[in-house]
Structure 1
């Protein structure tokens, strides 16, 4: 008689009948994802596992266990850097310019050390993050070790997932094959490779906010802001009020940020995804009030997280001042 494959245990836990299945514990999720990332699971099992997780609905404990497994598989184990803010960028496609790059650049210029990390996106006319990075001379590291070293010359560094956890990057590439996003697209945002004490997360679907909050709490993250971001990125939508699910010194709070404008459209052509437009925005050559407010509003979020005593109004005023005082000719 042929014995079950070791990974079959985790498929069975999730895939039993309506009254028999259950969620995975932290350690079970860690072990299961560890086997996947280590190449010990069959592709058929991986697809079944990820789709069962999607059908049952992942828990924060499960996602945290999978984050722990991914961290176990980092190519540079033990490498770290003293930074203030973790900035994930894992939206695989969006129809907006990544204005948030200007927000991160502005914060870094004030001395805030930021690690941005993520995937490339798809080459189908959508705007991924990476083309806009070189416009502002943002180092793109080829490993966590080189990212740590790059902070010696810049306060903002980007590293692609494929350069520090390629096995996880390969799971992102299953989306076109499976036809849906999976838990991988969710927990990738929570990796925080350098364990920064502060973290920003933009999500596409608001119902995912409590799930991310529960995930980072299981990971002992003390400070985090999770909100519906433009295109699923860390980018504030200034045209609508924003409810931010936050952890402040480990305590969960909800912050109510008002809309910043009465306008209802960006007044920017979706088809123009040229990164040079980002540079023109920095240089003050574009008159785009709503994207400008998106930048200012995103900076305000970060300022509020880094200094919780700031009121929302004070954070926005400070962010506006920083934007208006930027060196437009720097780049």
Structure 2
């Protein structure tokens, strides 16, 4: 089911006591029930205690494909959309791995753009680390809170635009303090990759909780994804890691709409990447991570470049620009060595700054 085809909901929300009680008894919610619960939250009709209990009980039970699909549909019905013609890729992951690494998916997104792939990067500020995608891009000089027209212009001119989650999902302000107070990943972390404002149909999705992998793939299939990889590392990273093996579920939809799923373990040594130590990938605050990102785009070698290039390679496969990860590595390397990735960043800074003029962009 495409997100735009979500059914009309004819369901009377039974109230928070019954909903939370059902979850505490490990009962699953129907699509309509889950959809209506999210509408209550996004419409500011739930108080903080109700939202906290709901999110904690749901996380303890475990989210089903039906529930997550309903939540995603509901969130997108409240969201501001980016109107852009053509295929779009996103590298937004769930976050929440608490490993404090550099901004891998953001760096990979710029490498993709440098390779000529159009990216709509969806993200926000840090939650479990010192620097989220928004923090590092802002430090680099990117205007992060553009509206739809500004983001679309960045995608047109720089091959990459950034959708700042609070700008495109304003109703989420109703739950932000609850999420901060809980200090645990909630379903909203997992929903981030599923509610891209440009409705990206090609995605590399890193997850912090391996238990959500099958549900995430199931939701991606249900909402009409054309191609996706759901990935996590043995080391707990929500990326394709270079410290050991990664687990990948790859979704491919053919022209007839038939979906195939492939599950496999990936060893970076199989494509000539040297194993790293987790401390080699450690990041810091926005200033530190911005420096690391620029260093990679300028061609400096090392473990940080390796993990960024590897994740870009996987995203290039998802984008349909590379036939396999090894081919993707070649394209990603060329994006850096040719200067394309750095030019994409420079153009993103220039275009976003120009579009920040209230008359032209926001």
Q: Same fold (TM over 0.5)?
A: yes
What is the count of residue pairs matched by the alignment?
A: 319
Deviations 1:173-210 (A, max 9, x none): 42332242221222122112222221111111222211
160-169 or 87-96: which moved more? 87-96
Q: CA RMSD in A?
A: 3.0
| Contact persistence 1:225–1:244 (CA under 8 A) | yes
Shift of residue 69, structure 1, vs aligned partner:
0.7
Q: Distance in 2 between matches of 1:269 and 1:304?
A: 26
Alignment-derived partner of residue 21 in structure 2: 15
Q: Does residue 316 in structure 1 map to residue 322 in structure 2?
A: no
Alignment-derived partner of residue 276 in structure 1: 291
Q: Does residue 63 in structure 1 map to residue 72 in structure 2?
A: no
133-142 or 112-121: which moved more? 133-142
Q: Distance in 2 between matches of 1:329 and 1:150?
A: 15
**Partner of residue 258 from structure 1, selected from 243, 258, 267:** 267
Superposition TM-score, scaled by structure 1 size: 0.83
Runs of 5+ consecutive residues of structure 1 not aligned to the other structure:
1-5
Q: Does residue 197 in structure 1 map to residue 204 in structure 2?
A: no
**Partner of residue 302 from structure 1, selected from 301, 315, 339:** 315
Shift of residue 113, structure 1, vs aligned partner:
0.8
Runs of 4+ in 1 over 6 A off after TM superposition: none
**Partner of residue 238 from structure 1, selected from 215, 239, 242:** 242
| Contact persistence 2:13–2:37 (CA under 8 A) | yes
**Which is bigger in relative contact order (C-alpha 8 A, separation at least 6)?**
2
Alignment-derived partner of residue 106 in structure 1: 111
Shift of residue 223, structure 1, vs aligned partner:
1.5
Determine which structure has the larger helix proportion and give its number. 2
Superposition TM-score, scaled by structure 2 size: 0.77
Shift of residue 23, structure 1, vs aligned partner:
0.9
Q: Distance in 2 between matches of 1:290 and 1:132?
A: 19
Alignment-derived partner of residue 3 in structure 1: none
Shift of the 94–127 alpha-carbon distance from structure 1 to 2, 3 Å rule, reads farther
Q: Does residue 128 in structure 1 map to residue 132 in structure 2?
A: yes
Report the secondary structure of 1:304's partner residue: helix
Shift of the 178–312 alpha-carbon distance from structure 1 to 2, 3 Å rule, reads closer
Shift of the 54–96 alpha-carbon distance from structure 1 to 2, 3 Å rule, reads same
172-181 or 155-164: which moved more? 172-181
Shift of residue 39, structure 1, vs aligned partner:
1.3
Alignment-derived partner of residue 81 in structure 1: 84
Q: Does residue 146 in structure 1 map to residue 138 in structure 2?
A: no
Runs of 5+ consecutive residues of structure 2 not aligned to the other structure:
1-11, 254-258, 347-362
